[in-house]
Amino acid sequence: MPRHRLVLDARSPSIIVPLTGCDLTELTEQIGALLTADAEFRSSPAVGTPPAGAPPVAARLVDMAEWRVDLYEPFTAGAGSDPAPAVEALERISALLPALPVLATFRTRAEGGGAEISPEAYVALVEALSSTGLAAAIDVEYRHPLVGDAITAAHRHRIQVVASTHDFDATPPAEEIVARLTAMEDAGADVAKIAVTPRSAADVVTLLSATEERYRAARIPLITMSMGGLGAVTRLGGGPFGSSATFATVGAASAPGQLPAEGVR
């Protein structure tokens, strides 16, 4: 039974902060900085009773942490694909963040990640991390050759799946974005995520328009964004268009255009 469940709602988008440490020491330091920033936010004068008619103020700075497993040294150093070190690290992260849901993500190089493992090892890693019950969700790449097996492996342990796809060169047409988000839901994902790269303001509009179109029909939460400075507005204002979460930083970023969490909140 998983320790946490994802609760995502575009009416109040969640803030997800990446953990990118290469070893347990760096991860511990990043988590310490995250906890400090969260405590300072909650004790600041800005967190209080909002004016009449204003939306409620968030009780905390961060809603979720994403651990980038592909940036962890056993994988980046080419030490193999044994999931045991990743399980050990997830146990450490969960012990340090008992109240915060964790999204575990192994991003392959094809999707802009920092390491590569075989398709079979990818599924085995998803299985091992899911079996701990310590991750609220597992990221599964929509275009991975064994995507179905990976989703099944996570669901076997009742762990939610965030299906993801990234375009680092351009923004696909709106109909392609909608088609991918639809396919992720049809494949059994619990959340559908897409990140694209805008080359113009029109590309940003395309991403937001496609998000709004799919949101009207989707039965699962969506997470969408345009990366880089040009797409920053989508990281701040995606909610009204149907995006239920955004990625922000306390320290190192994990993708182009991520903004500091306090400013985003």
Q: What are the residue numbers of the active site?
A: 166, 193
Helical packing angle, 119-131 and 147-156, nearest 10°:
10
- Residue pair 87/132 in contact (Cβ under 8 Å)? The answer is yes
- List strands edge to edge, sheet with 14-19: 222-226, 191-196, 160-166, 137-141, 102-105, 64-68, 14-19, 245-249, 259-260
- Dist. CA 96–CA 223, nearest whole Å: 26
- Name beta bridge partners: 260: 249
Cα 115-73-126 angle, rounded to 5 deg: 60
- Dist. CA 191–CA 100, nearest whole Å: 18
- Dist. CA 122–CA 130, nearest whole Å: 12
What does residue 217 show for φ and ψ, rounded to 5 degrees?
A: -110, -20
Cα 80-20-37 angle, rounded to 5 deg: 155
Residue with tokens 């320790």: 3
- Residue pair 204/233 in contact (Cβ under 8 Å)? The answer is yes
Q: Return the beta strands (E) in 153-190 as ranges.
A: 160-166
